[in-house]
Structure 1
Amino acid sequence: MDLSEPEKTLLFALLIILFIVWLLQRQKLQKGRLPPGPPALPLLGNSFHVNLKSPHKSLIKLSEQYGPVFTIWIGTYPAVVLCGFETIKEALIERGHDFSSRYPLPVLHKVSGGYGVIASSGERWKNLRRFSLSTLRNFGMGRKSIEERIQEEAQFLVKTFGNKKESPFSPDFLMRCAASNIICSIVFGERFEYGDKDFLSLLEMIAENGHILSSPWVQLYNNFPKIMDLLPGPHKKIFQNISDLCAFLNKNIQSHKESLQKDFSRDYIDSFLIKMDEEKHNLDSEFNDRNLLMTTLNLFLAGTETSSTTLRWAIQILAKYPHIQEKIHQEIDEVIGSLRCPAIEDRAKMPYTDAVIHEVQRYIDLVPMNLPHMASNDIDFRGYLIPKGTLVIPVLSSVLKSTSQWKTPNSFNPNHFLDKNGCFKNSDSFMPFSAGKRKCLGESLARMEIFLFLTTLLQNFVFKPVIDCKDINISPVFSGILQIPHMYNFCAISR
């Protein structure tokens, strides 16, 4: 690519600025005692030590040489990496306050500006998380009312699958529709038809962002944000999609403002608006339009993508291992039968199904490097001094795929969650929702969705792949923030 003289001058100036920033970071961090790590290059950091296609695997490999706590440089800034069950347990659970802040990774900060429940830290995060948990519970999260809503949505899903007449189709988008409708019913107070063009457009943007965020492009952006902002590429699409999603949400929020009844809250947005009104005289209140928009976006994205992606993985795995699918069918027939809908109370009587669901979540390792944490203060941790504001990466994959915690960590094995008598057994090393103060606030909703959607589908259908089941690849096609599965067509054969 030929550059003009002004472009060459600009690029050279950027490199000089980045080099100065790197030197200042180095000088600042000499005050601390960061853990050792692989040697880093100026500006480039440890880029050559990390495989952009599966960065978590590179970090686990480095931990074998440098120990469970080590430092890498991401471009011009350092990151302390935590690997292994004991290390992550100590950091996130036993010393959760020290590691509870959220690091503003460049891509995350550009999207949110530090607003919303996912990207915020300190008092803002505490207030928004406390409010969100309370409000989600008020609207049924973990209770009978939301269970009935999921059961109803599951029947829409069954009907749509049945309309395929046992012809091959990809269930991916339908799974995303169903999962999204649950969080939409809580946040917006409504569900959408699966053929709604505006709804489908939103889901396409969410799916596209999920793929890009898990691609090397975002790794490059986080390493070199100033340079990547000047270059074309798929990373640009993330910000355009977020802008379009925010436009949709702002329109919905405005509609709520116009029809709000302060003595009757219909959904999460209403509850936030009522809280804003209650605190309108508090100039320091975190209940403002920016936090409303970003928190609503957080709930919409997380509530749509994580549960639906887990369900997509589950269908693929069960199609690949028909003997496991058959055992779940048998347990459904014995406990539930065919005359009523599955209910959450059935889970305790279905140890094998429960074990399979847990093993799906362990095996797929959906968020392998967790979301980025940050040192909330200067932390004395295992003999090292981690300065306040340092990026911390708790590699959840090092727990979910640990050879010391699981008998066959790299194989799909439901026996990981069954005792010798066939009863369900849990494990402290089961951390798909993270752990400690930053644990996923929608965990109980996600667990309910995954169980009810999956058992309802398997109550009605046998999933058979179009290709030989042995050829189904259950390794991720993309691996970054999320682990994204391959896409396959299946036939839903009525039982």
Structure 2
Amino acid sequence: MEIPALGSIFLLLLLCLLIVQFVQLRWRKKQFPPGPTPLPVIGCLWQLKFFNVTRDSLTELAKSYGDIFTIWFGSTPVIILDGFQAVKDGLTTHPEDVAGRPVFPFFRALANNKGLLLSTGSTWKHQRKFSLITLKSLGLGKSSLEYQIEEEARRLVEIFRNTQGNPMNPSFALTLAVSNVICAVVFGHRFSTEDKTFHELLEAMESIFKFAGSLGHNIYNVLPWLIRHIPGPHKKALSARDFVCSFIKKEITKHRDAGVLDDPQDFIYSYLVQIQKTKDQPKPAYDESNMIQCIFDLFLGGTETSSTTLCWALLYMVLYPDIQAKVQKEIDAVVAPGQMIRCEDRKNLPYTNAVVHEVQRFSNIIAIGLPRLCVKDTVIREFLIRRGTVLLPSMASALYDPNEWTTPQKFNPGHFLDKDGNFICQEAFIPFSLGQRVCLGDHLAKTELFLFFANLLQAFTFHLAEGTKDVNTEPVLGGTLQPHYFEICAVPR
């Protein structure tokens, strides 16, 4: 048979396969909420400019298909929840039904269904329950941990004071302060600003977060069998993960060598005690691999999100000096000069508290929430959602929902104040997600953000470095939406 004839047969077979898949997709599409028609192989990726899943692209589709709709990543359907009401209905109507996490290829490579953030099923339930109980016993929500945060705030003010008003990028100082809080809880100690290992840990975390929000991450999930065998940024991210886990293992060894305490003073000691208690069970839920991943998740989540939010907070203060001045005026009226701001001052600083909340809303650093997995058949509004279906909540669409916020596209602390100037927290304020997988460190993050921000504004007036003309307020895409590099001056008041 001639080569051209073979080529024609191949093309005919390929065409037949594409037609069959197209018909199958059309039939499957009827079983899900409405959405754009998927094409063979690529699904609806052409609608999203091939993997460019953003709040704006999803909101545009919602205008055509409703606030609960389906897009297809190849042959995989994903249900999108767009806008506050859709996110709320999707995650809280039957919260236990949508508490799973799809174990995508990169999630598997990163965590292998261990730990807190990327695990699912009984593993997640055991690790979350233990971690919640342990963090509370170690001071979460208590004055002991609040004191630790206040101490880090004091050190942070000193770091800024040492710049003597010269231009600086605040990112590392903020990351150091935030991370040292979770380090004290997890490892039982803090790091100094000169610690080389700590610098390497922060760089490793940055590599992981950068890859998590990149095009490469999405391609890895579609073509893992190919991508894992070739060079690329995924190799750097997984190498960074190995470095962090290696450090955690060394910390665990130090704790184990020191001997398990009757009264554990940090997360590692507490987990070692739990392993000892459950070691004789047929299938113990607590082991070293889960402990390492839980610590990895706490360290990663307890550092990146709050430090990024604080970076946005200082950037907004230099862009809106009138708001900065109003915060300082309120602080000066409530807190005596030279006295550190403490947690109990928050109730007397409603405007400052409102500004902190508006920073979280407006920066929306987690634009698209981590995907959820439907663990059993459930109903969301009029839609039957089958077990195994993936849901993607657009958190930013809730934080920018015009039905919930008077000026969603503007930085406006008034969103969190009533007509008398009292602080109010809106129902649509959901930066920590909703349902059974709500962020387990939300109270810690709220306390950190308020104390670090308020103490810095009490001590300094911030302005852009001399010569800075245009500030790019568009976020840098990644696992979190970070501001572009900028320099500011912290002028002592």
- Indicate whether the TM-score tops 0.5: yes
Q: Does 1:294 align with 2:286?
A: no
Could you report, residue by residue, the CA deviation over 1:408-446 in whole angstroms, capped at 9, with x for unpaired residues? Answer: 111111111111111112110000000111100000000
Whole-Å separation in 2 of the counterparts to 1:238 and 1:29: 39
Q: Does 1:359 align with 2:358?
A: yes
Kept in 1, the 8 Å contact 2:182–2:298? The answer is: yes
Letter in 2 for 1:422: G
Whole-Å separation in 2 of the counterparts to 1:173 and 1:24: 50
User: Against the structure 1 CA distance between its residues 97 and 25, is the aligned structure 2 distance closer, same or farther, given a 3 Å change threshold?
Assistant: farther
Deviation at residue 23 of structure 1 after TM alignment: 5.7
Kept in 2, the 8 Å contact 1:150–1:452? The answer is: yes
User: 1:432 is paired with a residue of what secondary structure?
Assistant: coil
Alignment of 1:74-473 (within 5 A): 74-466=73-465, 471-473=470-472
Whole-Å separation in 1 of the counterparts to 2:450 and 2:321: 19
Aligned to 1:494: 492
Whole-Å separation in 2 of the counterparts to 1:319 and 1:83: 32
TM-score, with structure 2 as normaliser: 0.92
Kept in 2, the 8 Å contact 1:32–1:387? The answer is: no
Whole-Å separation in 1 of the counterparts to 2:371 and 2:462: 37
Could you report, residue by residue, the CA deviation over 1:41-71 in whole angstroms, capped at 9, with x for unpaired residues? Answer: 2222222211445523211211111111111
Deviation at residue 195 of structure 1 after TM alignment: 1.2
Whole-Å separation in 1 of the counterparts to 2:197 and 2:40: 47
User: Against the structure 1 CA distance between its residues 31 and 55, is the aligned structure 2 distance closer, same or farther, given a 3 Å change threshold?
Assistant: closer
Kept in 2, the 8 Å contact 1:82–1:395? The answer is: yes
User: Against the structure 1 CA distance between its residues 364 and 470, is the aligned structure 2 distance closer, same or farther, given a 3 Å change threshold?
Assistant: farther
User: 1:483 is paired with a residue of what secondary structure?
Assistant: coil
Runs of 5+ in structure 2 lacking a partner? 1-9
Q: How many correspondences in the alignment?
A: 477
Deviation at residue 265 of structure 1 after TM alignment: 0.7
User: Against the structure 1 CA distance between its residues 255 and 58, is the aligned structure 2 distance closer, same or farther, given a 3 Å change threshold?
Assistant: same
User: 2:262 is paired with a residue of what secondary structure?
Assistant: coil
User: 2:226 is paired with a residue of what secondary structure?
Assistant: helix
Kept in 2, the 8 Å contact 1:321–1:469? The answer is: no
User: Against the structure 1 CA distance between its residues 150 and 384, is the aligned structure 2 distance closer, same or farther, given a 3 Å change threshold?
Assistant: same
Whole-Å separation in 2 of the counterparts to 1:31 and 1:284: 40
Kept in 2, the 8 Å contact 1:377–1:387? The answer is: yes
Q: Which moved more, 1:23-32 or 1:414-423?
A: 23-32
User: 1:492 is paired with a residue of what secondary structure?
Assistant: strand
User: 2:490 is paired with a residue of what secondary structure?
Assistant: strand
Deviation at residue 337 of structure 1 after TM alignment: 2.4
Kept in 2, the 8 Å contact 1:32–1:386? The answer is: no
Letter in 1 for 2:488: F
Deviation at residue 397 of structure 1 after TM alignment: 1.2
Letter in 2 for 1:208: S
User: Against the structure 1 CA distance between its residues 224 and 45, is the aligned structure 2 distance closer, same or farther, given a 3 Å change threshold?
Assistant: farther
User: Against the structure 1 CA distance between its residues 490 and 244, is the aligned structure 2 distance closer, same or farther, given a 3 Å change threshold?
Assistant: same
Aligned to 1:5: none
User: 2:98 is paired with a residue of what secondary structure?
Assistant: coil
Whole-Å separation in 2 of the counterparts to 1:29 and 1:104: 26
Whole-Å separation in 2 of the counterparts to 1:281 and 1:138: 25
Kept in 1, the 8 Å contact 2:464–2:489? The answer is: yes
Letter in 2 for 1:433: F
Whole-Å separation in 1 of the counterparts to 2:377 and 2:178: 40
User: 2:384 is paired with a residue of what secondary structure?
Assistant: strand
User: 2:240 is paired with a residue of what secondary structure?
Assistant: helix
User: Against the structure 1 CA distance between its residues 274 and 25, is the aligned structure 2 distance closer, same or farther, given a 3 Å change threshold?
Assistant: farther
Kept in 1, the 8 Å contact 2:354–2:416? The answer is: yes
User: Against the structure 1 CA distance between its residues 435 and 336, is the aligned structure 2 distance closer, same or farther, given a 3 Å change threshold?
Assistant: same
User: Against the structure 1 CA distance between its residues 150 and 257, is the aligned structure 2 distance closer, same or farther, given a 3 Å change threshold?
Assistant: same
User: 2:97 is paired with a residue of what secondary structure?
Assistant: coil
User: 2:116 is paired with a residue of what secondary structure?
Assistant: helix
Kept in 1, the 8 Å contact 2:211–2:233? The answer is: yes
Whole-Å separation in 1 of the counterparts to 2:25 and 2:249: 43
Whole-Å separation in 2 of the counterparts to 1:347 and 1:321: 22
User: 2:408 is paired with a residue of what secondary structure?
Assistant: coil
Deviation at residue 295 of structure 1 after TM alignment: 0.5
Could you report, residue by residue, the CA deviation over 1:452-476 in whole angstroms, capped at 9, with x for unpaired residues? Answer: 1111111111111115787323221
Which of 43, 46, 50 is the matching residue for 1:45? 43
Whole-Å separation in 2 of the counterparts to 1:369 and 1:454: 25
Whole-Å separation in 2 of the counterparts to 1:201 and 1:31: 47
Aligned to 2:62: 63
User: 2:341 is paired with a residue of what secondary structure?
Assistant: coil
User: Against the structure 1 CA distance between its residues 348 and 156, is the aligned structure 2 distance closer, same or farther, given a 3 Å change threshold?
Assistant: same
User: Against the structure 1 CA distance between its residues 47 and 227, is the aligned structure 2 distance closer, same or farther, given a 3 Å change threshold?
Assistant: farther
Q: Which moved more, 1:310-319 or 1:91-100?
A: 91-100
User: Against the structure 1 CA distance between its residues 432 and 26, is the aligned structure 2 distance closer, same or farther, given a 3 Å change threshold?
Assistant: farther
Superposition RMSD on alpha carbons, in Å?
2.3
User: Against the structure 1 CA distance between its residues 468 and 421, is the aligned structure 2 distance closer, same or farther, given a 3 Å change threshold?
Assistant: farther
Kept in 2, the 8 Å contact 1:80–1:393? The answer is: yes
TM-score, with structure 1 as normaliser: 0.92
Q: Which moved more, 1:305-314 or 1:229-238?
A: 229-238
Whole-Å separation in 1 of the counterparts to 2:53 and 2:300: 23
Whole-Å separation in 2 of the counterparts to 1:282 and 1:26: 46
User: Against the structure 1 CA distance between its residues 420 and 430, is the aligned structure 2 distance closer, same or farther, given a 3 Å change threshold?
Assistant: same
User: 1:116 is paired with a residue of what secondary structure?
Assistant: coil
User: Against the structure 1 CA distance between its residues 236 and 24, is the aligned structure 2 distance closer, same or farther, given a 3 Å change threshold?
Assistant: farther
User: Against the structure 1 CA distance between its residues 289 and 394, is the aligned structure 2 distance closer, same or farther, given a 3 Å change threshold?
Assistant: same
